[in-house]
Structure 1
Amino acid sequence: MKYRPKNCSIVMFSGLLTLATAFSSVAAEKEKVVATNLEPDHHVILENQYVTVMRVMIPPGQSTMFHEQHLDYVNTHIDGSPVQATYPNKPAKNFEMKSGNVKFGNHQGHSEVDKITNTGTTLNMQIAFEIKQPGPIGFGLSSRPAIPAFQQVLDAKSVKGWKVTLQPGESTHPYSQKGPGVRVFFNEGRVLEAIPGRPNRTKELWVHKGDALLTTAGEVELINGGDTPIVFNDYELK
């Protein structure tokens, strides 16, 4: 019987693990990479000259394709979950997308390729938008009324964002929006939007959880026209 060193099995296992990791990396590099707005789980729902808005839906246990992020983007987590991010040329990373969180991706000139797997047991849903032009574009410094309804959640080079919570009948008070933006809703409700120059005249809109709207510069006043609180994020390009 030939003598086998005690650590031989450990060495063999380590070698196999290294080999498996190498094969995995090669396989990842061979997978097709698509633009973010062409990835099948990133459904484009709104678009204008400034932004592309996508509803991202990843069922539990499923993965996106590898996709390239080459534009600044804002990602609002509507229904979060634990996820794994896989990259072609670096180790995978496990983390949690928490419901209500906001993530800014600084990718103008800093391209990144990844694949996201929903490792949880419930649907992962996000509203993400890419900013098509390098920022700041030059719309000016934006602000919101200094009332408890507004909580700033993002201040990046190209965009600012506020979480807005309105109680039934509560108003944001009139304010001036400098640039275009995106509004993302976390729950269902009735929103009244004042029509500038027409006192007591409003547009009525029913919104649902995960709805998104494109917004434009101008005078704004929003009122909760329902009987339950309404929560949304209000983003404005700089």
Structure 2
Amino acid sequence: MRTLILSFIYLFNTINVHAQVAVSKEPRHHVVFENNKVRILNVLVLPGDTTQYHVHSTPSVFIPFTKTRTGSQRINEQPEYGTSVAGNVWFEDLSEPHIKIHRVWNMDTSVFHVMDIELLAKEARFILNPLAIPHAHIQIDTPWARTYIIQLAKNQELNIKEQTCDFILVAINGSEIKMIENGRENRTFIKPGQYYWIHAHDKFIMINQGNTPANFTLVSIN
């Protein structure tokens, strides 16, 4: 009898997973970049709006850009409530058997904005030690994900060169910056959620030209 019950529960959960939409297909989750290593989703939930139930099934890094009161609910569970904080990055291993099916709603008066970086590598490992460069402070260090907090005061620079892995640099707040990538210079104003893919062995420099601190999250990619 116990075996029959467990088999029914497994079948019920399997049906639930297949009945829900993948996170990349949920209408408020917009795929803005994808390659064989990552899939980047830009997530925007309007005040009072609720996402569909959706499935997270990959290890993922989440980067919020707003302070927003939200609710969330796993399927067949009670709701949970919290407040996002811009730059308060977190990681979840959502691969089997840790798949998450949930929905999220915005309880606040402004847009809830977050980035979901799905990590698509088959292996969870970093060969090299964490970066040791000025202004980059380790935030998350797991076999799947390694992220850094970066804050640049006026005229301070982030200098990445001769690294053997790829990176994603994500802006947390709006900033006026000068960027030099493999000798090509560009001055621009970046917005929260704007990101740059830095290839292994690239020479990448970013300088804060504004009067207020420029905050970033740097994600190492296996």
Deviations 1:66-102 (A, max 9, x none): 1100001111010131211112222221122222211
1:235 corresponds, among 215, 219, 222, to 219
SS at match of 1:84: strand
SS at match of 2:91: strand
Distance 1:44 1:87 in 2: 22
Q: Which residue of 2 aligns with 1:211?
A: 194
Deviation at 1:139, TM superposition (A): 5.7
Q: Which residue of 1 aligns with 2:6?
A: none
Q: How many residues align?
A: 205
SS at match of 2:128: coil
- Cα pair distance change 1:174/1:77, threshold 3 Å: closer
Deviations 1:90-124 (A, max 9, x none): 22211222222112111122211000011122210
- Say whether the 8 Å CA contact 2:172–2:192 is kept in structure 1: yes
Q: Which residue of 1 aligns with 2:91?
A: 104
Amino acid at match of 2:205: E
Which consecutive unaligned segments of at least 5 residues does structure 2 have? 1-15
Distance 1:231 1:124 in 2: 19
Distance 1:119 1:91 in 2: 16
- Say whether the 8 Å CA contact 2:154–2:213 is kept in structure 1: yes
Q: Does residue 115 of structure 2 align to residue 132 of structure 1? A: no
Q: Does residue 124 of structure 2 align to residue 141 of structure 1? A: no
Which consecutive unaligned segments of at least 5 residues does structure 1 have? 1-28
Amino acid at match of 1:207: I
Deviations 1:5-42 (A, max 9, x none): xxxxxxxxxxxxxxxxxxxxxxxx69x51101111000
User: Comparing 92-101 with 54-63, which one deviates more in the overlay?
Assistant: 92-101
Q: Which residue of 2 aligns with 1:66?
A: 53
Distance 1:211 1:142 in 2: 24
2:42 corresponds, among 50, 55, 76, to 55
Deviation at 1:171, TM superposition (A): 1.9
Amino acid at match of 2:195: A
Amino acid at match of 1:128: D
Deviation at 1:165, TM superposition (A): 1.1
Q: Does residue 74 of structure 2 align to residue 87 of structure 1? A: yes
Larger radius of gyration: 1
Deviation at 1:195, TM superposition (A): 4.4
Distance 2:160 2:107 in 1: 43
Distance 2:153 2:206 in 1: 12
- Say whether the 8 Å CA contact 1:191–1:226 is kept in structure 2: yes
Distance 2:85 2:126 in 1: 32
Q: Which residue of 2 aligns with 1:40?
A: 27
**TM-score of the superposed pair, with normalisation by structure 2:** 0.81
Deviations 1:148-195 (A, max 9, x none): x22222112212111111122212345443312221102223433444
Amino acid at match of 2:197: L
Q: Which residue of 2 aligns with 1:113?
A: 101
Percent of paired sites with the same residue = 19
